[in-house]
Amino acid sequence: MQPRHLIRRTAATLGILPSVFGVYRWAKEFTPAQLIANGRARRDEQSSGVPIPPARLRYLATTTREIPHFLGGGLAISKSLRDALDRVGSPFEAMGDVLDFGCGCGRVLRHWPHSVSPTIYGCDYNPRGVDWIRSHLPWIRAEVNQLKPPLPYADCSFDFVYALSVFTHLPTGLQDVWTAELHRVLRPGGILAITTMGESYAHRLSAEERECFNAGQLIVHDSCLAGTNLCAVYHPESLVRQNPGRGFEVVDFRPNCAPPYVPQDQYLLRRND
């Protein structure tokens, strides 16, 4: 385990992780280089006509206030999803209704077209991100969800649901109930995309945790902070292929799905019942 991850574990044990993490990030990011890069990115993005969320919302989405990272990551992820859908013969444009589960302030949503099909929905646990989307991305139908199901949608509402870096922050019990809930709102044959922290994140684990991870077990850090970036969950590939299980089959897998922005594993799961 690297020193910075050891510090994290110590802070978590002492109950001061949120404070330590916040101070570290603020101190790390207020540099002249970042201010210059943010200013340049803000000017470049003006031509798109899509506003950039404030720093506090970008931070909640990416744990950084860097505008190039926010914009570049969202674009890379949207391309990764498009490519994955093409590989399984279900192109994005052929979808009728699409849901971004855990949409934040629209990091990926802003990159979908808003003048043609499909109809795009977003939902998130944090109402601040949803409020910003409603005010600045009016073509998105955004709703607030709670930490636990249900979602505010009827059965079989969507052809495609994606949950990017969502299951990476949900402890075991919530993993199961949200998997079942996303199955509920998908239409038969619909596709669920998820990203997880897999092998490329295993260096964060202790020797004992790594042994359990290699044996196909879920590793959860700081479950008391469920739903936040400070609850970290690590999925071995073998576990995901066995679970979520009921009603899904893995139809596509790509490690390190959107480098250098998102080194997470990306799975496409088809509802098969």
Q: Return per-residue pLDDT of the chain as tens, 273 residues.
A: 555 555 556 655 656 555 555 555 555 555 666 655 666 656 656 656 789 999 899 988 888 888 888 999 999 999 999 999 999 999 999 999 999 999 999 999 999 987 667 999 999 999 999 999 999 999 999 999 999 999 999 999 999 999 999 999 999 999 999 999 999 999 999 999 999 999 999 999 999 999 999 999 999 999 999 998 889 999 999 999 886 557 899 999 999 998 888 889 999 999 988
What one-character-per-residue DSSP string does 6-42 give? Answer: HHHHHHHHHT-HHHHHHHHHHHHH--HHHHHHHHHHH
- Supply the pLDDT for residue 9: 60
* Cβ neighbours around 188 below 10 Å, total: 10
Instruction: Measure Cα distances from 177 to 32, 52, 154 in Å.
Output: 45, 33, 16
Q: For residue 44, is it within any domain?
A: no
High-pLDDT (> 70) share of the chain, %: 80
Q: How far apart are alpha carbons 53 and 228 in whole angstroms?
A: 19
Q: For residue 89, is it within any domain?
A: yes
Q: How far apart are alpha carbons 4 and 24 in whole angstroms?
A: 11
Q: For residue 125, is it within any domain?
A: yes
CB-based contacts of 103, cutoff 8 Å, min separation 6: 109, 122, 123, 124, 129, 130, 133, 140, 142
Q: For residue 121, is it within any domain?
A: yes
Q: For residue 50, is it within any domain?
A: no
- Kindly report the pTM of this predicted structure: 0.86
Beta strand pairing call for 186-196 and 141-144: unpaired
Domain count, the chain: 1
**DSSP alpha helix (H) spans, the chain:** 3-14, 17-29, 32-45, 55-62, 67-87, 127-136, 172-185, 207-214, 237-242
Q: For residue 59, is it within any domain?
A: no
Query: 153: domain CATH number?
Result: 3.40.50.150
Q: For residue 200, is it within any domain?
A: yes
Q: For residue 60, is it within any domain?
A: no
Quote the domain boundaries for residue 232. 72-271
